[in-house]
Amino acid sequence: MSKLSDITLFSINDLKLLLIALIISSIISSIIVYTLTSTFNFEIQFMFSNLVIDISAGLALIFSLILIIRERNRKSKGKKYVSLFIAISLWFSAEIIYTYYQSILRIDVPYPSYADGLWLLGYIFMAYHLYSSFNYWNKKKEFSESSVFIITIFSALLILFLVQSSAITYSTDVYLILVDILYHVADGIILIPALVLFWNLRHKKILYLHRALISLFVILNTFANVGYIFTFNLGIDIIREHAWIWDLIYNISYILLAGGLFWYDRVIEILNKKIDQSVILNKQLFYLIEKQNKFQIIGNNSHVYIDKENIDYTINKLITDAKNEISLLIYIQNKYSHNLIRNLNLSLTNFKISNNNPKIQILFDNLVNLKLLLDTKPTNLDIECEKIDKILRADMIIFIIDQQHLIFIDLKNHMDPNTLLAIYSTNSNIILHFCNLFSCLVNLSELREQSTESDK
Q: Look at residue 222 in the predicted model and tell me its pLDDT.
A: 93
Q: b/e per residue, 57-89, with b = 16+ CB within 10 A?
A: bbbbbebbeebbeebeebebebebbbbbbbbbb
Q: Look at residue 298 in the predicted model and tell me its pLDDT.
A: 41
* pLDDT exceeds cutoff 70 at 18: no
Q: Look at residue 202 in the predicted model and tell me its pLDDT.
A: 77
Q: Are 242 and 285 in contact (CB under 8 A)?
A: no
C-alpha 323/C-alpha 312 separation (Å) is: 19
Taking only the tens place, the pLDDT of each residue in 404-430 is: 999 888 776 555 555 567 888 888 888
Nearest-10 crossing angle of helices 79-99, 114-139: 160
How many other β-carbons are positioned within 10 Å of the β-carbon of residue 388?
Answer: 23
C-alpha 138/C-alpha 141 separation (Å) is: 5
**Highest mean pLDDT out of 177-191, 232-246, 307-321:** 177-191
Q: Look at residue 90 in the predicted model and tell me its pLDDT.
A: 97
**Highest mean pLDDT out of 125-134, 202-211, 432-441:** 125-134
Taking only the tens place, the pLDDT of each residue in 140-159 is: 888 888 999 999 999 999 88
Q: b/e per residue, 258-267, with b = 16+ CB within 10 A?
A: bbbbbbbbbb
* pLDDT exceeds cutoff 60 at 10: no
Lowest average pLDDT, out of 31-40, 139-148, 320-329, 385-394, goes to 31-40
Q: Look at residue 234 in the predicted model and tell me its pLDDT.
A: 77
pLDDT category at 171 given cuts 50, 70, 90 is low
* pLDDT exceeds cutoff 60 at 301: no
* Higher pLDDT pick, 62 / 285: 62
Q: Are 140 and 386 in contact (CB under 8 A)?
A: no
pLDDT category at 115 given cuts 50, 70, 90 is very high
Choose among 247, 227, 244: nearest CA to 38. 244
Average pLDDT score over residue span 395-405: 88
* Higher pLDDT pick, 165 / 454: 165
Q: Look at residue 331 in the predicted model and tell me its pLDDT.
A: 85
- From residue 85, give the alpha-carbon distance in Å to each of 81, 134, 257: 6, 18, 11
Q: Look at residue 43 in the predicted model and tell me its pLDDT.
A: 62
Q: Look at residue 266 in the predicted model and tell me its pLDDT.
A: 87
**Highest mean pLDDT out of 57-61, 137-141, 296-300:** 57-61
Q: Look at residue 91 in the predicted model and tell me its pLDDT.
A: 97
* Higher pLDDT pick, 291 / 83: 83
pLDDT category at 294 given cuts 50, 70, 90 is very low
Taking only the tens place, the pLDDT of each residue in 221-249 is: 999 998 888 887 777 777 777 777 888 88
Choose among 300, 299, 283: nearest CA to 291. 283
Q: Look at residue 196 in the predicted model and tell me its pLDDT.
A: 94
Report percent pLDDT > 90 for the chain.
22
Nearest-10 crossing angle of helices 428-447, 236-285: 150
Average pLDDT score over residue span 264-291: 76
Average pLDDT score over residue span 124-146: 91
How crowded is the C-beta side of 209, counted as CA atoms within 13 Å? 21
Choose among 197, 205, 194, 210: nearest CA to 264. 210
Q: Are 286 and 394 in contact (CB under 8 A)?
A: no
Considering just the CA atoms, what is the radius of gyration of the chain in Å? 27
Q: Look at residue 292 in the predicted model and tell me its pLDDT.
A: 45
* pLDDT exceeds cutoff 70 at 262: yes
